[in-house]
Structure 1
Amino acid sequence: MRINTNVGALTASRNAFVNNIATENSMRKLSSGLRISRAADDAAGLAVASKLRTQSRSLSQAAANAEQGNAMLQIAEGAAQTIQRIIERQKELITQKLNATSSTSTTTTINAEIASLATEASRIQSAATFQGMAVFAALSFQVGDGDGASVNQVAVTATLTQTPLSGTSTLADADTALDAVNEVLSNIGAGQNVLDYTVQNLKSAVVNVRAAESTIRDVDMAEEMATFTRNNILTQAAQAMLSQANQGSQGVLQLLR
């Protein structure tokens, strides 16, 4: 029997240390809900999970961009519809003025209203802005997490180029102005449809990317709890054996009596 080196106690102490570290790791994972709560848990997995998190955040912003773009187009649509109604009224006035029963005074009044409506249409067009930007323009919305414009951007031609009507305008001029407004409304509607589908696709992509990240970063609580219970029992057993190993050395005293 040897007392200078208690191999049993050293072995039990080493096992208690290892089991205690494993128990602490399980506690950290269970309390955080993360399988990778530090780089040492899975360095390669952490790199992949970080890339997925970055991608999901970029896709979420792309979805927000598309939603803001749709809001911008709604402002343009509302303004264009108002201008359309103004031109319709102007055409109505031109038709009235061309009638043989219209007197000089009536014509003068009609021309004044046409001019007033033209001024308001121009004002509405220039005042239609979103965060200080003109909504009647060639618009481009970033809706992807890459740099390729052809893949990650949605372009909408919302330029309104109708000619303001005046007292000398004809019915043909009014029709031309209406065609211009109808064209921009058509472009706006097409752009809104594209952005609606884009938002749906982006939100679906965000869910899928986050789910992929979860499989790498998040802990399986049931499995980790089983691991924690096992390690906790082993730690207690190692401590008990360490106590027994220390008591074993007391047997030497029996030989000295």
Structure 2
Amino acid sequence: MAVLNERLDLRVDGVDLSVAAVRRTGDGDPVVFLHGFGSTKEDYADLDVHPAFAGQPFLAYDATGCGESGCADLSKISIPFLVRTAQAVLAREGIGRFHLVGHSMGGLTALLLAHQEPDRVLSFVDIEGNVAPEDCFLSRQIITYPSDDLESFLADFTERVRSSPQFAAALYAASVRQKVRPGAVRGIFESMVDDIVELSLVSRDGGHEPLVEEFLRHAAGSRAAQVGGEFVPPVEGDPPLEDRLSCHGQREPEEGP
């Protein structure tokens, strides 16, 4: 089947969305991909030419505030909002049961989606997903480098990533400002940190809480798997995230170096 590039007009929480998607239809249950921060649906478009996935139906789309997807109110975007957007996309595409793959930001979104739709998720692959405080090495910068100017924050964030002495850091930095709208960054980043703490993904003492336990149970039954480690490391000079989480509710500003 041919790959279709689609534009889905949706309304989520009273906000008008225009979601850009790439999809291949066909027999069988599709693989649904949720991309990470600074990525887009094009990360998965090569499935169309990969021999191992010949004929496999799949769906990937740009998260609201990212890539070619439009959002009438960027300030409404958060991880729970992205979960509800995923549910709206699945409903519009008429997808019942599916295999789920989430990367980074999309990994956290996918974990919450799988928790809410357990009977529909046939398998779950979490690629570098944000499921523990140490995973927030990018999103925590909204706290450790606070700024009221979102354009400036994204520009400075990009330069911090670019100067990171790790493979692919400069490549990631080269396109992130073209793939993410500044107005979406605060809601995404703050929500990524908040959800890990406040939605009980991990406890204060480092023990596992319900969603992580559920993920681990699925992994033991070969329904789920976690892949990969950090893509871009913490910026030198950042304090440990746990120090920030201990007073996260107060949102105390902290100056970067």
TM-score grouping bracket, smaller chain normalisation: under 0.3
TM-score under structure 2 normalisation?
A: 0.17
Q: Larger radius of gyration, structure 1 or 2?
A: 1
Could you say which structure has the higher strand fraction? Answer: 2
Structure with greater helix percent: 1
- Structure with larger RCO (C-alpha < 8 A, sep 6+): 1
